[in-house]
Amino acid sequence: MKVLVAMSGGVDSSVAAYLLTKEGFEVSGISFELWDRRDVSNFNSCCSLETIEIAKDVAGKLCIEHYSVDVRDAFYRHVIEGFCDSYVSGLTPNPCILCNKYIKFAFLLEKADEIGADIIATGHYARVERPGSFNGIDEGTERFLLKKGIDPKKDQSYFLYVMTQHELSRVVFPLGGMRKEETRRIAEDICLTNALRAESQEICFVGDGKYIDFVRNFNPDVFKPGPIVSDNGEVLGTHKGIAFYTVGQRKRLEIPSLIPFYVVDIDSGKNTIIVGDRKGAMKSRLLVRSLNWISIDGLNEPVRAGVKIRSTMMEEPSLITPGRDSVIVEFDNPQWAPAPGQSAVFYMDDIVIGGGIIEKEE
């Protein structure tokens, strides 16, 4: 069976490719040129020309074919513009989720069909379960299930909730049942040149710079000063432009006070930052739209589930109530600073039910 593996030049995707060759698959690798940064050397960026060369070297060592595909136009339209427009609108985007939704899996499948590959693979720490009965919500529904990776520190299912049933039917995640330490050990055992390469903690197209500089270069006109007001309407100061701020932020407010202030809301229409105390940044209720369901066709009645509003947090017990094209999430315990524009992902044990984008309630 032929498999096409997304290879970023990192240790995870490299080991994923190696494991598939050991299992007897006919493996090919593919790297995407996502963003033109020829003027910047950024070794840890997954979209840099350097990392594509690393992926080619790894493919050569594994004796597999390697392709590189220029997807910069699509990446610009679907990820870069969305990222910058979100900050301009007072939202906090998640570009990795946008990339998974519009770029990575779509182009993987396109190339897989072109070369006759049966399945695709990535180095994500997540798992796919083939159809069977899912008794949590809708008994007897046969759907592909997305599950957490077994390594709680590396689980990446949060970023994958946008996947479709068609994509899940064609994908494998070789690292889903492994821990990161085991991945590193395998890379060292087979002498991969990137075995000890540091993981990038930056947004890939921003690299080692600051996101705010990137947004400013994209649209310099949006950095207009405006008022910072308290949650009771008192003007407390002046901000430098709403793109500098996100809900829950404390830095850069420059408000003289004996008590700390946090951003609790952003009104892009009025170019205003609203601040309050820590309690004001805690929320018990969320409106979530742009939904994608995985383990079920949709939600017809309220259900209790775990909800993540950040990739690094543990899911929190909640009641999810369906609306017309949205759901309301009500947490058992208030949560810190849910940011409109970020994703809320719903879990039942280790199974991803679905998820969507947090929006402000009017």
Q: What pairs with residue 283 in β-bridges?
A: 335
Q: Residue 273 in contact with residue 230, Cβ under 8 Å?
A: no
Report whether 172 contacts 110 (CB < 8 A). no
Three-class SS state of 216: helix
DSSP 46-59: TTSHHHHHHHHHHH
d(CA 98, CA 74): 11
What is the residue-wise DSSP string for 25-90? -EEEEEEEE-S--TT---TT-TTSHHHHHHHHHHHHHHT-EEEEEE-HHHHIIIIIHHHHHHHHTT
Q: CA distances (Å), 81 to each of 91, 96, 228, 324, in order?
A: 13, 13, 27, 28
179 vs 192: CA distance, rounded Å: 18
d(CA 130, CA 143): 7
Is residue 99 annotated as part of the catalytic site, yes or no? yes
Judge whether 204 counts as a catalytic residue: yes
Hey, which residues are catalytic here? Answer: 99, 204
